[in-house]
Amino acid sequence: MKPAPRHSHDSNPAAAVRDGALAAELATLVPLGEVISEGGRLRDACSDATESRGLRGATAALVLPGSAAEVAAVMAWCYERDVPIFTRGGGTGLAGGAVPDGGIVLSLEGMHAIRAVDPGQWRMEAEAGVRTARVQRVARENGLLFPPDPGAGEQSTLGGNIATNAGGPHAFKYGVTGSWVTGLEVVLPPGDVVTIGGPVRKDVAGFDLLHLMTGSEGTLGVITAAWLRLVPAPEAQTIVVGFYDDVESGCSAVADVMGSGLQPAVLEYLDAGALAASIGSFPFAAPGDPAFAVIAEVDGSAAEVEAAATEVVAAMSAAAVGDALRLSGRRDARSLWGWRDGVSIAVNAQRGGKVSEDIVVPVDRLADAIRGTLAIGERHGLPACSWGHAGDGNIHASFLIEPGNGDELARAERAAGETFDLAIELGGSISGEHGIGSLKTGWVEPALGPALVRAQGEIKRTFDPKLLLNPGKKVPIAGPRDAGATESGPGGGRAGVR
């Protein structure tokens, strides 16, 4: 679509959007959608799940297109006028990726159609604004499984999951979101709707742009729809929970399960602090004061699950306090996962706030990362704990703070920064699944080195030469908005202040 003619407010487009004139012009570009330039919905679009860490932005308008063509028209309009675009899904991100800094917020919320489900071909085509839990439910209703299960599934969107390459417990066996995407419909600057891949199970034509777009956090293009690969839903699942006296015996149970040659679907852990916060609502019998817990789930045919569960119970019982607990049936599974989903909230409730980071380390360094997190908390005078995806070496390192206590927040941000140093030192990475957003850009260069940061910057400029898509996110790159900043300067991220 041809961009709308330039408006007289071009010298300061964002201010002009605020005065209502360009908001009305934007509205003509999205007849199937809407444009909001004031009130509670606009305010809600200025933060994500990092708000408790003090992250809140500002924007001139919330634009909700109703089709890919409308997204393209809005992008063309913005590209013509140098207006930054902050793309938003469900706003559950934990890195500040959807928090705007001026410009407009482009929300995919209104694009929530499931375009096709083909159970015989194990595939689905869905728009970016469909909630994650709905994708899972529709797959289930058709006898299939969409395995990615990030924790805020009722709120997060498929587009947000793809843009962050989200994980979750079942990523251990099934891989992260990107493993399940075979095609994307994307709007690229300056406003072209393109299809990358599609309903195909293999495609090596050209460079692998599908995986480049996956995890790009709204900085290269706007995802409007995806083709998903599904698998037949497993017939049965069983969960096994083991409790341990210390980090070492818990981590040795993780190693024993992995060394057994079995492939559990899930291998999770909670350390002493995470357990102390949540054990009160654990729905089954548990020892008095456990210092560590490991949760495994096996799935497959009923016979496979029976055999695997016996072996997993044996592996997890060797170093456990008593025998590992074997749960059975869907009701037990629902209770256990309902409890596990509440762990983050329970930890938060300890002091009213927390700063959490999701570093990832080689699995054989898991115990070092867990102990290292506690030592960092102690150095900064903050209670600390962690839990996470043990089988992936992905730990949610958390520092507990009082809301409104600026000194504690500053110490917790410094502690979070030290967990990134720890991850790098242990041969890991600064984010396993939550992404870089604006919080971690200051750590991208220490993590990747200058040559890779340069390469990433060149990729960004190739797709988005005006640097208008989610500026200040994901890649530390100096643009026109922050002239004078260094390529990787700590100004790029709050946690970048060491």
Ligand X SMILES: Cc1cc2nc3c(=O)[nH]c(=O)nc-3n(C[C@H](O)[C@H](O)[C@H](O)COP(=O)(O)OP(=O)(O)OC[C@H]3O[C@@H](n4cnc5c(N)ncnc54)[C@H](O)[C@@H]3O)c2cc1C
Task: Tell me which residues touch ligand X (CB under 6 A).
Answer: 48-49, 87-94, 97-98, 108, 128, 150-152, 156-157, 159-161, 163-164, 166-168, 217-218, 222-223, 344, 433-434, 437, 470, 473
Q: How far is the CB of 169 from ligand X (least distance, A)?
A: 7
The encoded tokens of residue 50 equal 């990092």
Q: Which is nearer to ligand X, 437 or 471 (CB)?
A: 437
Question: Which CB atom, from 67 or from 470, has the smaller least distance to ligand X?
Answer: 470
Which of 380/434 has CB closer to ligand X? 434
Q: Which is nearer to ligand X, 358 or 445 (CB)?
A: 358
Residue sitting closest to ligand X (CB): 160
Toward ligand X, which CB reaches closer, 277 or 313?
277
* Residues 44, 29: Cα–Cα separation, whole Å: 23
Contact 108, 32 (CB under 8 A): no
CB of 294 to ligand X, least distance (A): 17
We find the least distance from the C-beta atom of residue 86 to ligand X, in angstroms, to be 6
Which residues, at least 6 apart from 449, have a Cβ–Cβ distance to it below 8 Å? none
Rounded to a whole number of angstroms, the minimum distance from the CB of residue 162 to ligand X is 7
Closest distance to ligand X from the beta carbon of 82 (Å): 19
Residue number, 127 or 418, with CB nearest to ligand X = 127
Q: Which CB, 48 or 256, lies closer to ligand X?
A: 48
Cβ atoms of residues 361 and 447 within 8 Å: no
- Which of 62, 60, 23 has its CA nearest to residue 41? 62
Around Cβ 303, how many Cβ atoms within 10 Å?
10
- Residue 157 or 429 with smaller CB distance to ligand X: 157
Contacts 24+ apart (CB under 8 A), 326-335: 326/238, 326/239, 326/240, 327/238, 327/239, 327/240, 327/241, 327/284, 328/238, 332/239, 332/284, 333/237, 333/239, 333/297, 335/283, 335/284
* Contact present, 187 and 238 (Cβ < 8 Å): no
Q: Which residues contact 293 (CB under 8 A, 6 or more apart)?
A: 241, 242, 243, 244, 250, 269, 270, 275
Give DSSP secondary structure letters for 356-388: EEEEE--GGGHHHHHHHHHHHHHHTT--EEEEE
Q: To the nearest whole angstrom, how small is the minimum distance from the Cβ of residue 8 to ligand X?
A: 30
The least distance separating ligand X from the CB of residue 102, rounded to whole angstroms, comes to 14
Give Cα 322 distance to the centre of its chain. 36
Q: What is the nearest approach in angstroms of ligand X to the Cβ of residue 115? A: 15
